Amino acid sequence: MAFEEHRANGEGVHSSRWVTLPNGLSLLRLAMTPFVVWLVLTGTPEALWTALILMIVAEVTDFLDGFLARALNQQSELGRLMDPVCDVIYHVSVFMTFLKQGWIEPWMLFVIYARDLGVPYLRTLARQRGIEIGVRFSGKVKTAIHGIAQVVVVMVALGVVQATLPGGADTVHAILLAAVVVSIVSLVDYAMAAFAKTN
């Protein structure tokens, strides 16, 4: 690959091979995206059940690829790129499909998109000043909450999970609000890390 030169200063990068199981799992998640979008748009119980199964598979592969990369010592430069790319494209696409179904409000997507697009740019800004910001805990929490929120929303649509919480709050609205809040917290966390040592 063309990325060899800077592998010397890439941390934890042990493999220049890119045909690895973790990368395959990342790609699988990306390949599943149009199917999940189509199934959620179709909206019939059969389609939503199939979507739910695929969405759970997607979340499991997201957990597995990072874990396997470390366990099998198959961390690759391409994997470092592909894992977050496939992850955000998948999650943002599913949220946008929820928008089409009227399950999420436009302003929430603004926050979610601004965070997912903005964080790599903040890391790029920091890198310009010689500060390397790795994946932070807030980013992992954000990804996990987004995955759980999407699964819960489809479960509510299927009637598996109650549409109203014990307090009377709307389940979908509450879980999506949680997803928005973790996005904001994570954005602030990365912004603080990016500007911390520069002033």
Q: How far, CA to CA in Å, does 143 sit from each of 23, 48, 197? A: 18, 22, 26
* Closest CB to other proteins among residues 1, 160: 1
Q: Is 14 in the site for other proteins (CB under 8 A)?
A: no
From the list 98, 126, 104, 118, the residue with the least C-alpha distance to 183 is: 118
Q: Is 62 in the site for other proteins (CB under 8 A)?
A: no
| Bridge partner list, 15 | 76
* Closest CB to other proteins among residues 57, 89: 89
Name the DSSP class of 44. -
From the list 136, 21, 36, 34, the residue with the least C-alpha distance to 84 is: 136
Give dist(CA 59, CA 47) in Å, integer. Answer: 18
**From 21-29, 57-65, 119-127, 144-152, span contacting other proteins (CB under 8 A):** 119-127
Kindly determine how many residues on this chain lie close enough to bind other proteins according to the rule CB under 8 A.
39
Integer-rounded Cα Rg, in Å, for the chain is: 18
3 state SS of 29: helix
Q: Is 116 in the site for other proteins (CB under 8 A)?
A: yes
Give dist(CA 195, CA 5) in Å, integer. Answer: 27
Q: Is 17 in the site for other proteins (CB under 8 A)?
A: no
* Closest CB to other proteins among residues 1, 165: 1
Pick out residues in 120-159 that bind other proteins (CB under 8 A).
120-121, 123-125, 127-129, 132
Positions touching other proteins (CB under 8 A) are 2-3, 5-6, 9-10, 37, 41, 77, 80-81, 84-85, 88-89, 92-93, 96-97, 99-100, 106-107, 109-110, 113-114, 116-118, 120-121, 123-125, 127-129, 132
